[in-house]
Structure 1
Amino acid sequence: MRTWQKTIIIILTLIAIPIIYFENQYFSHQQTEAQLKTSQKTVFKAYQTHSENNYANFAVYTDTKPAGKIYYFVPKNQQGHAIDLRRQQQRIGEQLYQKALQKKQKNIIVYITYNGDNLHDDTYCLTPTGAVYSRVEHRFSTKFGKISDQLGQEAVYNLANQTHPVTFKDLYQDAATLPMIKQLAIDQELKKHNYTPEQLKALENLDFPTDVNYQHFSFSQHGLTLQFAKNTLGIKQITLPLATIGPYLNPDYITENDTMPSAKKKSKSVALTFNTALEPVRTKQILAILNEKAAQATFFPTGEAAHSHPKVLQKLSAANQAIGNQSYTVDDAIDTMSEADLSANLAKTDQSIFKATGALPRFMRVSPDTSNKAIATASQRALISWSVDSEDWRTDIKATEITKNVMDRTTGGDVILLRTAPETIKALPALINQLRAKGYHLVTIPALFAHRLAPFQQYAKAADPYQD
């Protein structure tokens, strides 16, 4: 081959190499762009499917940005109106977009959708969720991938017709709702901390909800969260789990498992209850029998007894026996007291019991014929009477008759009235044995009524008609 021919071949080769290179680059770029668009469509479809699966009624909004787009999948109520979850979704969308800009990402795509949980009928708990996608550079390729994500705050909506989260008024069920919220919140804190009596007062004086217009709260499928103003205890918020507070809220916004349980019509449980002055020797004998028989009971000491015998009450509490409130002295005529006097009486009794046990009594003893509304209002707790009277208050009664009275009158679900009298102590072992022989379980008052114990109501027997 001649020299000039070789030169032409070399020149043509040098010209062809860049042409081939750039041609390959062009088609490679086109292929990459096509793959990226396909990936974007796939991801968009995945988020659309996610939204449909969580709550099918939604609209898609697009917000075009200088460096990309934000897609909002916004749920609508059954009347076709977008709910205000979009406000929170927009905040999340902007935050994710700005974070991607700060990282100098290009071709940013943000998807904002929601997770939904059906609580009850048309009631849903919705949580905004977002993710930002962009070109992700690998060693030899460019892919469309997620670079970060974010969850928002849960909120509960009635999607039949509402566009706003449920209000406190929506959650309100009846007169027991407010005192139960306060009661359960205080009890929860007392289990976490060893508060002094002075700290207990500060806890009771927190700004708990007082009416249906209360606004300092959030509600989700996890429970009710109360927010508090600055206080000496440093408590910013208290969250009551749905399993705890659910029975006392409007059942339309609560999962079925967490609503008020129905009364058991054929209960095989009974509650032994003792009105007691905590006389040390007698109480020790009763507790020894209960421990030996692995039985539980409920004790209603007076505040005076709790003040005089705190160690006796401590032992009862440590043995997982339930404690109620009886009034400060056995001679207090609570049926004729004014509401103010009764409130002071019970507060004094509560303080004595709290100092001994570190807990507050959440139910009090009343007689079956109690009808004084002042007692219910002042006590702000469940009222416990009885359905079976052992008659051990009689001075001439013997242990065998006490046992017979109880066995003849017990039908299941009963609250059995006892005292810490000598003949009662003699009767107790046989009484426990005979009740169990008939298939009865011995439980505390809280266990007998489960979540049904509520302020302003009087309880004498599980499944009484007026408790339905």
Structure 2
Amino acid sequence: MRKKLLLIAIFCALILTLVVGAMYKYLMSQVYGEEQTNFEMQVEKTIKTEFFDRDITQIEESKSGDNQYNKYYLYYSATENKNIIKQLEAQTQVASKQLKDSRSMVLSYVNEEKVNDALINRQLVTKEYIWDDKTKSLKYLGELKELSEILLSKNRNEPRLKDIVNDESDLLAINRIVQEQLLSTRTKLKSTIDEEELDQVLTNDFLSKDSKITLLPHSIQIAFDKEVLGVTKMNVDTEKILPFIDPAIVSDNNLPKKSLDQKRNYVALTFDDGPNDTSTKKLLRELKKEKIKATFFVLGQMVDKNPEVAKKIVGEGHEIGSHSYTHPDLTQVTLDKVKEEVLKTDKAIFHATGVLPKLFRPPYGAVNGAVAKTIGLPIIQWNVDSEDWQVKNKDLIVNKVIDTVENGSIILIHDIHERSVESIPEMVSQLRKRGYEFVTISELLSYGQKPLNQYFGLADQREIK
């Protein structure tokens, strides 16, 4: 009898537990169902409020997150770029995963923000909301904004290079930067570049004012007018071409500014007609000892004879520029000859050093508009002539420089003369006593030197017509 009563008691307790459990589940489902309904209503309200004044088409209604209480939504126009959509989806997924264990909502969309009259920033915006159990409301948690693209107000659909450069000199400067980047990229893929490939880059007109561009947060993608080295487009860091584009289209104000301290005095030592394997090597040792960086304007034929010295010039941090191949007066030869002199020297320098010259010094300083356009590089003249080729006396060379130097001077010397090289220690000593510091041409001109212009010193820039 007792055993029978015990079994009945256990059975009743079991039934009671099941009933209570069922009732609890029912009540909880009612409570949480009501809460979920309230949550979803607030999600809908938040979305409507957010997009009340936005002209945007909703393509994807919604996607469930990692559980039924975590939702995320993406909004974008029907014509949106596929890459932008992928970026937006990835950004949304990251935020959703961070909130997966809570009742929450992630809302993402592409936003356009006017920066100035010329520029529109396109941002990927992801906002996070989380359910507050105490207040029974959806609370804003924070947001992430990622700049994805930059548009030009005047030509937002198909921007061209001509929309961001001021004149032909800017275009020529960008062309040389792209040429060097193409060759640098190619060199990384294969150890050597043959003549045919070099000709493709240096003689192929693959850039023009009508070349299409895409403005990105820290770079500009340039589409080539024709394929070169198997490439049809290239991203160039905005910093590299900053001096040659309209400053109004630069959205990142934190880009480094390469400029000299206005309170200090600077000069640039420049050396012509080398390199050779005697005096140029001696000069390099002296410059290294004095911790000075200079600019060498080399002859292509001398580079072909002494490629290891040219390589040493670049390897030790000096700047290298072109001085033609055979040293003719370029205003007295045909433009085809000018082009040949420039091209042969570019090739010689590249083969020896792996870089292209960004500066040109015409022999005898002789240049005109047609020659400057054919050269396509900034023309570097001088305002202090050591006259070393004539006096051939180290003391007279030093005196000539010291008597005529001023802040921002470009000093002309020839490294092929022994007496010129011998004058450097005393010249450097005297200039330092007068408070001068030594920089390369590009440092002196803050990397802003342009083709179709000639520079005689820091404060003397002249357009070549």
- Cα distance in structure 1, aligned partners of 2:384 and 2:413: 9
**Which position in structure 2 is the counterpart of 1:392?**
388
Letter matched to residue 244 of structure 2 = Y
Spell out the pairing of 1:249-288 with structure 2 (5 A cutoff).
249-254=245-250, 255-258=252-255, 268-288=265-285
Aligned partners of 2:156 and 2:178: how far apart in 1? 29
Per the alignment, do residues 441 and 456 of structure 1 end up closer, same or farther by CA in structure 2, a change over 3 Å counting?
same
Deviation string, structure 1 residues 14-60 (Cα, Å, up to 9, x no partner) = 999888666544442343244435555777798899x89xxx98456
Structure 1 equivalent of residue 312 of structure 2:
315
Q: What are the superposed Cα offsets for residues 284-338 of structure 1, whole Å, 9 maximum, x if unpaired?
A: 22122112211121111212211222222222222222211111113x1202223
Is 2:213 aligned against 1:209? no
Show CA shifts across 1:242-280 (max 9, x none).
111222111111134549867876661211111124332
Q: Is 1:181 aligned to 2:178, yes or no?
A: no
CA shift in 2, pair 1:65/1:155, >3 Å: closer
Q: Deviations over 1:402-456 (max 9, x none)?
A: 1111112111111101113232122110001111122211111122112212221
Partner of 1:441: 437
RMSD between superposed Cα atoms in Å: 4.7
Residue in 1 aligned with 2:3?
A: none
* 1:103 aligned partner: none
What secondary structure is seen at the aligned counterpart in 2 of 1:169? helix
1:236–1:122 distance in 2 versus 1, CA, 3 Å: closer
Note if contact 1:324-1:364 (Cα within 8 Å) is conserved in structure 2.
Answer: yes
How far apart, CA to CA, are the structure 2 residues paired with 1:92 and 1:239? 18
Distance 1:308 1:90 in 2: 56
Aligned with 1:113: secondary structure? strand
Aligned to 2:267, the other structure's residue is in SS state: strand
8 Å Cα contact 2:201-2:228 kept in structure 1: no
Give 3-state SS (helix, strand or coil) of 1:407's partner.
helix
Task: Note closer, same or farther for the CA distance 1:400–1:86 as it changes in structure 2 (3 Å cut).
Answer: closer
Residues matched between the structures, number: 423
Q: Which residue of 2 aligns with 1:452?
A: 448
Q: How does 1:350-389 map to 2 (within 5 A)?
A: 350-366=346-362, 370-389=366-385
Q: Is the 8 A contact 1:414 1:462 kept in 2?
A: yes
- Residue identity opposite 1:381 in structure 2: L
Cα–Cα, structure 1 residues 364 and 95, in superposed 2: closer, same or farther, change >3 Å?
closer
Q: 1:66 to 1:432 in 2, by over 3 A?
A: closer
**Identity in percent:** 24
Structure-2 residue corresponding to 1:32: 32
Q: How many Å apart are 1:206 and its aligned residue?
A: 6.3
1:220: how far off?
0.9
Distance in 2 between the 1:243 and 1:48 partners? 41
What CA distance in whole angstroms lies between the structure 1 residues aligned with 2:62 and 2:287?
A: 76
Matches of 1:245 and 1:274 in 2, distance apart? 27
User: Which piece of structure 1 moves more, 39-48 or 420-429?
Assistant: 39-48
The 3 A distance-change label for structure 1 pair 162 and 342 is closer
Report the Cα distance in structure 2 between the residues aligned to 1:67 and 1:285, rounded to whole angstroms.
71
User: Contact 2:373/2:452 (CA < 8 Å) preserved in 1?
Assistant: yes
Which structure 2 segments of 5+ residues have no match?
Answer: 1-8, 65-70, 97-103, 131-137, 139-143
Partner of 2:291: 294
Q: TM-score, normalised by structure 2?
A: 0.74
What is aligned with 1:409?
404
